[in-house]
Amino acid sequence: MKDFVYRVYGLNIESEIELPELISNHNCEPNAWIKIGKVPEHIPNITGSGPFYEMSPNDFLLRIKNIAKYRVQYGKSITVEAHERADPDEIRLFLLGSTIGALLHQRGMLTLHGSSISVKEKGITIIGSSAAGKSTLAAGLYAKGYSVIADDVSVIEHKKEHHYIYPGIPHLKLWKDVLIHLNYHEILKKVRPQYEKYKKPVFSMQKQECILLDRILFLSTNESNSYYYEEVYGSDKFNILLSNTYRIHYVAKMNMTSIHFMNLSNLAKTIRLFKIERPSSPLKLIEFVEFIENKIFSI
């Protein structure tokens, strides 16, 4: 069986499954592995569970009905047992989402639920609750010529008093109305067959070097017709970062709370964070992008 080697989130992943969403890199030594094999219905010594998952320190099991079972161990290996009639796109969707998120947490990596872009060789991470507009804003900025570093999951590392963002999966997940708004007419693959959400390739993420993180934007919506921003300080900054951790419910059940809190504390001490409010509707993406450029990028 031919193995594939990819680089994403600062990892060199050797995979028995072809992952066309990722960037190949055979000139590196793997430090994580994806294999095809049998996955049990349950794992031993469970410390936490939910409707679809079980976990303990260094062991994680995800079961998605009619798609696949995934097991992650010691931050190094992922075993995939796919359903015989599963759509390969859906197998990879959960592999490159919740499953790889579990692997990142097992490795103690700081993982935020948000998109990241590059402005003048410096990174800006965009976080916020579901439907706040993280990917939408990233898409609007991408259309203006800014580079996209990551979408949905942003992995941040602390090195020598600075924080850096690792490049993620090179596409944006966008709803149909956003694609129409941006005049994108190319034929794109759906994220899942039942949703009008599509994968838009983002070629500016082909470079795999990490980039210096300059600031974080926390998006929310309001019922007015106006935009608003303020810089956040102190414990409020820490709490926003904590609540916007990717798959935060994994952390405590993996016994990674102390490492995660240390990572968040270091980030909160050194990074600027801005709270941004935008009108909940209608979508005025061009206006929103101009507000971000004029008010936030200029600070």
Q: 281-292 pLDDT, tens per residue?
A: 887 899 999 999
Confidence of residue 114 (pLDDT cuts 50, 70, 90): very high
Report the number of distinct structural domains present in the chain: 2
pLDDT of 186 > 80? The answer is: yes
Q: Both 115 and 259 in a single domain?
A: yes
Domain boundary among 49, 72, 107: 107
Domain boundary among 57, 89, 107: 107
Judged against a pLDDT cut of 80, whether residue 233 lies above it is answered with yes
Direct distance between the N- and C-terminal alpha carbons of the chain, in angstroms, rounded to an integer? 53
pLDDT of residue 91: 97
Residues 190 and 101 in one domain: no
pLDDT for res 204: 60
Residue 98 and residue 117 in one domain: no
* Whether pLDDT at 208 is above 80: no
Among 107, 132, 164, the domain-final residue is 107
Q: How confident is the model at residue 167, as a pLDDT?
A: 94
Domain CATH number, residue 193: 3.40.50
Q: Are residues 249 and 165 in the same domain?
A: yes
- 124 and 94 in a common domain: no
Check whether residue 210 and residue 271 sit in a common domain: yes
pLDDT of residue 131: 82
CA atoms within 13 A on the CB side of 39: 25
Of 27-31, 101-105, 203-207, where does mean pLDDT reach its minimum?
203-207
Give tens-digit pLDDT for 48-105. 999 999 999 999 999 999 999 999 999 999 999 999 999 999 999 999 999 999 999 9
Q: What percent of the chain has pLDDT over 70?
A: 98
Range 170-190 average pLDDT: 90
Q: Find how far residue 65's CA is from the centre of its chain.
A: 23
pLDDT score at 1: 56
pLDDT band for position 178 (50/70/90)?
very high
Tell me the whole-structure pTM to 2 decimals: 0.94
Round the average pLDDT of the chain to a whole number and report it. 93
246: domain range? Answer: 111-296
